[in-house]
Each structure stands twice: as structure tokens, then as C-alpha cells.
Amino acid sequence: MNKFLNVSLALAFIAVIMAGNLENSMAQAQTREKKPLVPGEQAPPANPGQRNFGGVRPPVGTPGQQPMMRPPRPEPEIVTVSFDDLSMSDPFIYPDEETKTYYLTGTGGRLYKSKDLKMWTGPFSILDLTGTWMDGLFCAAGEIHHIGDKYYYAGTWSDHSTLIQVVPRRYNVPRNQTQLLVSDKPEGPYKPLVAEREFCLGPEDWDIIDGTLYTENDTTYMVIVHEWTQLIDGTMAYMPLSKDLTHRTADPVTIFRASEAPWSKEMNSIGEATFGLKMPGWVTDGPQMFRTKTGRLGMLWSSWGENRYAQGVAWSESGTIKGPWIQEKEAFKGDNSGHGMLFTTFEGKRLLIIHHAEGNGPRKPQLYEVDDSGNKLILGNRYNP
């Protein structure tokens, strides 16, 4: 009897020790997860006078640190100007059939309105980000999408007070996320679809920009850029969203990598610095899904090529978002132009809007006619409304 009692006591003692070890392991794991990231050494700085995109970024803080209070942006004066007088990166036009009005947005998060594509009234403030981590932050690559009876604004926000990864001797990666806002009208106001302060639609440890919406077989996907600054070889990816678009229903799936396109060039090889740093890698930027009139599924996207910014095209061999995807051998437009999107005028004309910069001048939107009647896109003449 004593023998069995001793064995039982020994087993109980071992169980207590194991439970304690498991508890300690879990506590250590939680401690590791909560440990703030410390900014590390970055890529070498650009040479004086070297070509550089994006200026010099501010230092990145640590997770949990709230952004410094920013003074509110002054409300812009509402004016009416010609299309040629506009300056804007990443332009996006939503043609609203109900009101026969074109709505133009993009980086900056403001809105312009036009009836004829020639004269534009704006810029209007349309975003209300109160109570979210994006409040007061700059909006990039804004888009308007009409799904069901709602209008959705997809925009990208960057929080440099939050560090999500330290890539040694390369980059301190801040939080970038494309989020969805919602409105009953195309001209807004747009409010966060999910109002939780720290909500991120994509994985929180992914550097995500330039998200766009695409619907296939009754599922709406967000197609995103997984930034090259984090990966070295940037990717396009998709993630399926819930019916109400409030959350992803699966983790993102990679569509392709930038280096798969022959026209996409490695940044250091073309003498291009980014954010004041000589970061090596291949850029993905600005996706838009489209179908030709024959039903062929393609994607407009941008990277950096021989003549700086460039617009490219990729095609799905299966005709679905799952691909596989093949790249055009040459850039669609490679003269420091890109981040393009297609739309159809109220008269049925297919147009491409992109931004273009002359030298170090401002980025300005341009319109081009496009022939999509076959299985390829054919760039036409400059379109002057």
C-alpha cells in the first residue's frame, strides 16, 4: 500500500512541476510577444543628389505609442479648375450613373466633382476618422467602390509611431494598412466600417498599401500590395472579405512577385533611393482588377523601371483571381507614369487615368483612351476632355 501511495505522490509531484513549467512557458511566450521592438540599423543613406522617392521618413516609434497630436488640416478653399491644373498622386475616378457625376480622389483623401471630366470642383473633405488610429494621419491612394447599396472608400494610412518589424540593415517597418470606410453617398462623408480604435483589416504584422476591391463569384476580395520595403521582392496578394466587408475570412494569398515582370527593375540597379535610403528590391504598387470586353481578367499595377515609375499589366491564365498570373514583357507605359485605373465614361468610352511627373516636377493626372475590345489592352491617344 505504501508503495502505491509513494508512486501516486511522486506522479502528483511531477504533474505539479510540469504544470508550473507550462505556466512559466506560457508567461514567457506572452512576455516575448509584448516586448516592444527596438528600431535597428537601416539601409545605407542615399548619396547627396541621388534620385530619391518619398523624401526622408520620420523615425519609427514603438508599438503602443500613440501618435503625436497633429494640428488639424486647414479646410481647403473650394474652387473650380480645369483638369490640367490638378496635381495629384494615385488618381481614381468613380463615375456615378445616378447623378451623372464623376468623382475624383486619390492620395490626400480629398474629393473633386465634375460633370464633363474637364472642369473640376473641390477639394472637398469627405473622411471622418474620429476614434480610430488613422485619425489625423495622411491618406494615400484613395478609391471609391459601389457595392450593394453602400459606397466604400478604400484608403491607406501610415502610422509611424507604431513599429511592426525591424528588418536588419534595411528598414524599420511602420504600420501601414488599407482600411475601408463607408457612406450612403459617393461624395461621403465616409466613416470607418469598423470603428474599433486599433482595428486592422489585414494582418497587423504586414506592411500593406494600395488595397482595391474586386468581386468574383459573389465574394468580394481586397487585393493588396505587400510592401517591398518589408519583403525586398514586393508582392500582390488577395484576401477574401466577409459579406459585410468588416473582416477578412482568410489570410492573404500571394498572387505574384514584382520580380516576375521583366520590365520591373531592382531599385539600386537603376540608382533609385527610397525614403532617403539605398534599399534593394523590386516594387509592387497600385493594383486594379479589370476585364476586357472578351472577359479576360487582368490587373493594372505599377513598379519602377528604366524610366522611373512605370505602368504594367498582368493576366490571369485561369480567368479567376487565383491565377496563375503571367506578366506582359514590356511596361504598358514606362515614362514615369503609373498607378493607373480604368473607367468608362457616361458616353461609353473606355479611359485610363494615371499620374505622370516630368523630372522632379509634381505628379499630375492624365487621361488616355484605351482599346479593350480584344484580349489585350491597347493604349490610345491622350484624351483631352
Using H for helix, E for strand and C for coil, what is the string for the chain? CHHHHHHHHHHHHHHHHHHHHHHHHHHHHHHHHHCCCCCCCECCECCCCCCEECCCCCCCCCCCCCCCCCCCCCCCCCEEEEHHHCCCCCCEEEEECCCCEEEEECCCCEEEEECCCCEEEEEEECECCCCCCCCCCCEEEEEEEEECCEEEEEEEEEEEEEEEEEECCEEEEEEEEEEEEEECCCCCCEEECCCCCCCCCCCCCCCEEEEEEEEECCEEEEEEEECHHHHCECEEEEEEECCCCCCECCCCEEEEEHHHCCCCCCCHHHCCEECCECCCCECCEEEEEEECCCCCEEEEEEEEECCEEEEEEEEECCCCCCCCEEECCCCCECCCEEEEEEEECCCCCEEEEEEECCCCCCCEEEEEEEECCCCCCEEEEECCC
Q: Is residue 33 part of a domain?
A: no
**Can you give the pLDDT at residue 34?**
56
Look at the chain and count its residues.
Answer: 385
Expressed as residue numbers, the domain containing 230 is: 38-382
Judge residue 66's burial from the number of C-beta atoms within 10 Å of its C-beta, 0-12 exposed, 13-18 middle, 19 or more buried.
exposed
Residue 112 to residue 122: CA distance in whole angstroms: 4
In a domain, 21, yes or no: no
Kindly tell me the burial class for residue 153, based on how many C-beta atoms sit within 10 Å of its own C-beta (0-12, 13-18, 19 or more): buried
d(CA 303, CA 284): 5
Is the pLDDT assigned to residue 28 strictly greater than 90?
no
Measured CA to CA, the distance from residue 75 to residue 109 in angstroms comes to 12
Residue 51 lies in a domain: yes
Once rounded to an integer, what is the mean pLDDT over residues 176-195? Answer: 98
What distance in Å separates the CA atoms of residue 182 and residue 149, rounded to the nearest whole number? 11
Give, in order, the Cα–Cα distances in Å from 248 to each of 191, 218, 360: 19, 15, 39
For 338-361, write each residue's pLDDT tens digit: 999 999 999 999 999 999 999 888
Dist. CA 291–CA 325, nearest whole Å: 14
Per residue in 195-223, pLDDT (tens digit) is 999 999 999 999 999 999 999 999 999 99
Task: Tell me the residue type at 255.
Answer: I
Q: Cα separation of 373 and 168, whole Å? A: 48
Q: How high is the pLDDT of residue 140? A: 98
Confidence class for position 331, pLDDT limits 50, 70, 90? very high
User: What is the arithmetic mean of pLDDT over 218-245?
Assistant: 98
Q: Does the residue 57 lie in any domain?
A: yes
pLDDT over 90, % of the chain: 84
- Give me the pLDDT at residue 15, please: 47
CA proximity to 137, closest of 87, 69, 187: 69
**pTM (predicted TM-score):** 0.89
From residue 19, alpha-carbon distances to 8, 25, 37, 293, 300 in Å are 16, 10, 30, 64, 55
Answer for the pair 300, 340: CB distance below 8 angstroms, yes or no: yes
- What is the average pLDDT across 91-95? 98
Determine the pLDDT at residue 361: 86
Average pLDDT rounded to a whole number, residues 270-286: 97
**For residues 347 and 359, is the Cβ–Cβ distance under 8 A?**
no
Domain count along the chain? 1
Judge whether residue 176 has pLDDT over 80: yes
Instruction: Report d(CA 145, CA 195) in Å as an integer.
Output: 19
Mean pLDDT score, 36-49: 94
Cα three-residue angle 243-245-250, rounded to 5 degrees: 85
Q: How many CB atoms lie within 10 A of CB 61?
A: 20
Per-residue pLDDT at 58: 73
Q: How many angstroms separate the CA atoms of 21 and 28, rounded?
A: 10
To the nearest whole number, what is the mean pLDDT of the chain?
Answer: 91
Whole-number pLDDT of residue 61: 66
d(CA 296, CA 289): 11
Q: Locate cell 516575448: which residue?
A: 32
Q: What pLDDT does 16 receive?
A: 40
Q: Please indicate, yes or no, if residue 81 is contained in any of the structural domains.
A: yes
Residue 14 has pLDDT above 90, yes or no: no
The model's confidence at residue 11, banded by pLDDT at 50, 70 and 90, is very low
Looking at the domain assignment, is residue 55 inside a domain?
yes
pLDDT at 231 (0 to 100): 98
24 in any annotated domain: no
Judged against a pLDDT cut of 90, whether residue 55 lies above it is answered with no
**Within-domain flag for 12:** no
The CATH number of residue 156's host domain is 2.115.10.20
